[in-house]
Structure 1
Amino acid sequence: MTVGRTEVTRGPTSLAEMARLSGEFAERHNLVYCVLWLTGELDIAAVREAWRGVCLSHDVLRRAYVSPDEACTYDDVLGEVEFYTADTDTEALKTVRQITTPFDLAGVGLSRIAIVQRDERRHLLAIVLDHIIVDEKTWNRLMADFGEFYERAIQGASAPDKVEKNAYHDFALLERHELSTAWGEERRAFWRSQTDRFGTFPPPFPIACEAKGESRLTAVHHALPADAKARVLDLAKRARATPFVTVASAVLASLQEVSGAPTVGATTPFHGRVLPGTADIAGLFVQMVPLQLTAGARRPLETVREVFSHTLDVFEYNLPLRSAGRLWNEELVSVDRQAGVSVTLDKRTMSFGESLLVGTKAEIVPLYVPGEVTWPRTLQFMWEMDGMAPRLSVYYNENYFPDEAVESLIQAAENFVLSTDS
């Protein structure tokens, strides 16, 4: 324990924390990070003050772990802003790589931030957090606070006092308590019924595949018509569903059409808060949730309505299924099976715009860190509708998934979305 830091609370972990602490995702580096070149006037003291303010405002940044079931929170920050200098860009990037190493969950402090100065108006900034305390939504909120506190600091204002509302510690307490009440029993009954009906999560890929060597990731990009987004929105509106469910329905319908399987499933990453009043809680990382489509030939409009009806329940009762199953002694997750198909709509990554810190212009530096998430047995459908040129991008392991099956699935999914027979 670091001298000068006092442990102020101790209590249970959330289910998301428990999943990670129990060994889930152990093969990954589990980092959420970004590296930026900053051009302009940078006040190092203000950076330190701003980051301290972020840590004081979000107790999840001051958490540490005793066991998969128990966490503690400190009253002060658990990581300082490190400052370095470098004579070349290569040297600066080499310095940054030293902090992009996985965290030890048994240690104290799950965030790192470093600045490498190249000259008076050019700095390399690296922010690294462990995924156990941050997700995409949380990241965006933390960075918004970071920018706001930095602007206040250069104007002479001090860091804010601790913000106790919406503490993650309180969320974990509430979640564990609610699991022992009717709220938890309803979810247990729901997921037991899902297992009885569809089998354990994640849904299997319905077409026979065989590994043919080491994973070789490939990407296929299919251009969609310029009005593809308008068509998706129109179908969603008439089905009284969401655009995401509409494109997910297209993928599920294509799986059913190509495979002939009576029931098919996919997954989607879901950043959600599963308890009332927790919309602003930091630290609940992404969960994968199943999407299902049962047998029966239907027009696109009917398919979207069915998937949407089922998806409402799935999202309502969403929980980290491996941890929940462990607490309930239920077999909810197939631990040796990867998700067969994943679907996303206009997936966004962590971003800052051009001015994270006022007075500077930010340029993101692509930096590969060993241990990135790979999907050797997952076919990823990414519907990209927000840009000027809509497209469907599919990523897959060509040494596992048959190319002809992938192409057939893509074509069937496109036909579903673009069909006028709905």
Structure 2
Amino acid sequence: MYDKMDLAIVASSLIVILEIAEGLKCDHATGLKITELWTDFRLNKSDNFFDSKLRAVFEYEIADDTSELDGFAYKFSARHRDEELGNNLFFNKRRNHQNATACVGVEGSVWLRDEDSPCQLPCAGKISRDCGDLCAILDAGYKTVAANARKLEFPVEFGEVYDLHVVPYSYWSLGFGALATGNEVVKYCSGAGIDTHDCTNTTEFQITDRQIYSGPVSHFEKYDVTIDHTQNRAKVSFRWKRPYDYHTNATLKKYLIVKDETHPLPQELGGNDHDAITIENITIGSIHTLRVVPVLHYHESSDYVLIVHGAHFLEQYLVEDFDACNVDNDFGGRYCDEAANCSDLPPTANTSAICVCQPGLYGNGISTKWPEGSGCQAGGVSSSETAIAVGISITLLALLIVVLATAYVRSRNPKIRSKILREEEL
């Protein structure tokens, strides 16, 4: 038999064991650890030209044992370059929620293993106990993603500093996370990553410095190509957005447009979200170039031209030769009428194709879907000429009928006939 002291020792031991067990439950996720975290930046070119954005991409790996993983909690924040990473940005101090009802008063949602969608806090019926590390960071503004997520992506801007903290969790407790701090999206004209462009790092804007004072134009694209078949030349349209960054004391004034490396032509800024240019008389099958230069100061005199500019953007483009007789070509289909013989011509010719109507048909042989086309019509004459001829024929026939009718009437009426004879005798 146990005496009272022995029972007290056993009771105390049981309490300690229960406390340790509860502690182990709360620290269950400490076996989960993010082992690597990578950061990259890329320009996400959307199908919609105006939705293209610069994005920060974070990818991470976790230790092999993920059987107890529920998901990841993360917080992504922007701050000024000279601002230290502070307690207000990330959860870096454990807060005790163990005496509170699980996640009551905490906003947000949380992913759970084997669930197809996150549950909305307080996740009634799914959170069975109070263990508040996860609730604490959710209360601090963290969000969660599913256990199979290995990438986080966020829209960012040039010249800003971004921080990311991501941590695995299980049974409402946190594992070992990773922190990507101070990831600065480098401005085009500052930082080792763009040394090849010889950008200036001076703080004062000197009008005589022939340096680069902004990045290149952004979101540049060729968005429309049309063909002038009568000249066998192309018309190409380009558009772009303004540079992401400028020198501190610089302002974009205009652009210099250089076509095929000829003399640059200044172009004023457009009033829309983008600027654009259309180039005509483009030789098909030949490589052409378009250089767009942001201009921050421009002065031209009889002696010299002074340009303070941004980084050049050079686009090489080619309108490939095509078969103008093919109904499936990318420039409106077959140039000639279906009833015409079509001979495709090389890019050096002054028309896309030779169209000749088949025997017995009349017209220039060019399909009527083109403004210059009259197609091929039967009868040897055009429809307009046929209409005129028919009109004249009907008019002459009507006059002839009137004359014959008048003569007939006169021949049948004696009074009219005698009058006519008397007039003839006179």
TM superposition score normalised by structure 2 = 0.25
| Structure whose alpha-carbon radius of gyration is higher | 2
| Higher share of residues assigned strand | 2
TM superposition score normalised by structure 1 = 0.25
Q: 1 or 2 for the larger relative contact order (CA 8 Å, sep ≥6)?
A: 1
| Higher share of residues assigned helix | 1
